[in-house]
A and B are shown apart, each in its own frame.
Chain A
């Protein structure tokens, strides 16, 4: 018996519009994420990577193909697939703790059981002392930690991250990447993450799907040769640097290649 992957995407096609005006954003993508894996989707803008993630999240519909979680087709959004967006999307009128508790409230978890779960997540995210602050009072990195805690609270089967660190400055981004690694190692989450940052994808994930642009297709699948318990030292590993060059080369558009040839 073959094991059913946590996330399975097969022959996914997404077209916007109808008739001759229709634009194919995604043209036949296959991918899978096993339980406990951290997988990245990398691509230049316009490759449909965010659309792909939204379809897995159930926020957008697919045109043809299959998207399944534990073998069941995705028909809409649900708390089994927690999402984190680049724009944080926190509720500005709710405190940090209330934001994190929102998913538990929706699941009708009694108040008494909510509090310890929220406290635990705030502790993991190093946010305990900010529990009663409003998101407007926090820095970008802290807001994104709140968003991750909020997505983790209902104990989703899969965590979907849409360029979560794209709006952060370089130092904060590094810290958040280490943070995500720790969270992944501590919580055994299954994570599917979209990014355009090549180094980020190698540093964090076990497998990388490199998408080509217009229409979005899987250009290549790269297995990252580092184990689960990794740290910043792998960034100096020659295999890391080779992978980075390889993926960056894959991401060059034909036009970029022409430029490179001329010089």
Chain B
């Protein structure tokens, strides 16, 4: 007989910290998160002492990164850059979401819309949006328009296709039930398909937000007078690695904040989709 007992009882005791797919107790979760942050800060601290400033491969200390941040704050560039970049992302990604979600809902709802639009969308999404930069600069000049257009081009096709998939995941039974209750197609789109798809659409917005920031950087690297990515390019000229680090931190924090916001929004506006 195979021994299943190693003294003190039968079976394998479930681990608290390393249970497979187990909910972690609150205190453990906070401790693990805090530990993770601490680990990365410690690595950074270590790296900044090993690769001290002076060589070309140097890692700035927290202090010099912080100083660079304060310096940009004091001379006002931080605010103008942040405002310029945010404005481009909000307008560009906002438009991409508005049109992308509308087209995606149409494609997900109607087979005819899918048949009509799928070839174009399938083709266009494989054109790397960054490769459109020179074209957009010739067509639209170097002001805000090509930057916003690039963000749209880099995100809208994914928003369309992912939204269409979210809509196709609405159970047919819910649609049929609405028909038998006397609902018309428009009512079903507004009152059944949209509410059911809403949490999924927020997820689509979350996932593609990263691509919006990516396209912003591409746009600002090539032609801009302000913006966070433009400031990074400027920093390269002066070998101001501490400034670059400060700006990269800003990017990361912006992304984290928008992600947390969208997650909060999902939880708040569609609590029914959280369980199960």
A59 B176 Cβ-Cβ under 8 A: yes
Surface stretch bound by B, among A14-22, A23-31, A88-96, A177-185: A88-96
- In the complex the two chains form, what is the Cα distance from A218 to B171 in whole Å? 31
- In the complex the two chains form, what is the Cα distance from A83 to B187 in whole Å? 18
Q: List 16 A-B contacts (CB under 8 A).
A: A58-B179, A59-B179, A59-B180, A78-B179, A79-B180, A83-B176, A83-B177, A85-B176, A87-B171, A89-B176, A102-B181, A103-B181, A103-B182, A136-B276, A151-B181, A160-B180
Interface residues of A in 24-70 (CB under 8 A from B): 57-59
For residue B185, give the distance in angstroms from its CB to the closest CB of chain A.
Answer: 11
B177 A89 Cβ-Cβ under 8 A: yes
- Indicate whether B275 reaches chain A with its CB closer than 8 angstroms: yes
Which residues of A come within 8 Å of B, CB atoms?
57-59, 76-79, 81-83, 85, 87, 89, 91-93, 102-103, 105-107, 134, 136, 147, 150-151, 153-154, 160
Instruction: Knowing A106-B187, A136-B272, A136-B276 are in contact, say whether A89-B174 is a contact too (CB < 8 A).
Output: yes
Inside 8 A of A89's CB, which chain B residues have their CB? 171, 173-174, 176-177
- Indicate whether B178 reaches chain A with its CB closer than 8 angstroms: yes
- In the complex the two chains form, what is the Cα distance from A107 to B181 in whole Å? 8
B196 A93 Cβ-Cβ under 8 A: yes
How many inter-chain contacts with C-beta < 8 Å in the A-B complex? Answer: 72
Inside 8 A of B192's CB, which chain A residues have their CB? 91
A154 B182 Cβ-Cβ under 8 A: yes
- In the complex the two chains form, what is the Cα distance from A185 to B250 in whole Å? 69
A85 B177 Cβ-Cβ under 8 A: yes
Instruction: Knowing A93-B196, A154-B182 are in contact, say whether A77-B176 is a contact too (CB < 8 A).
Output: yes
Which residues of B come within 8 Å of A, CB atoms?
171, 173-174, 176-184, 187, 191-192, 195-196, 270, 272-273, 275-276
Instruction: Knowing A93-B270, A93-B272 are in contact, say whether A79-B173 is a contact too (CB < 8 A).
Output: no
B272 A106 Cβ-Cβ under 8 A: no
Top-9 shortest CB links A-B: A79-B182, A103-B181, A77-B179, A106-B182, A89-B173, A89-B177, A83-B180, A106-B183, A92-B272
- In the complex the two chains form, what is the Cα distance from A53 to B183 in whole Å? 19
Inside 8 A of A93's CB, which chain B residues have their CB? 195-196, 270, 272-273
B195 A91 Cβ-Cβ under 8 A: yes
- In the complex the two chains form, what is the Cα distance from A136 to B183 in whole Å? 23
Chain A residue at smallest Cβ distance from B184: A106
Which has the most chain A C-beta neighbours within 10 Å: B171, B173, B195, B275?
Answer: B173
Selected from A59, A81, A136, A160, the residue in CB contact (under 8 A) with B275 is A136
A106 B181 Cβ-Cβ under 8 A: yes
For residue A45, give the distance in angstroms from its CB to the closest CB of chain B.
Answer: 18
For residue B71, give the distance in angstroms from its CB to the closest CB of chain A.
Answer: 49
- In the complex the two chains form, what is the Cα distance from A235 to B184 in whole Å? 43
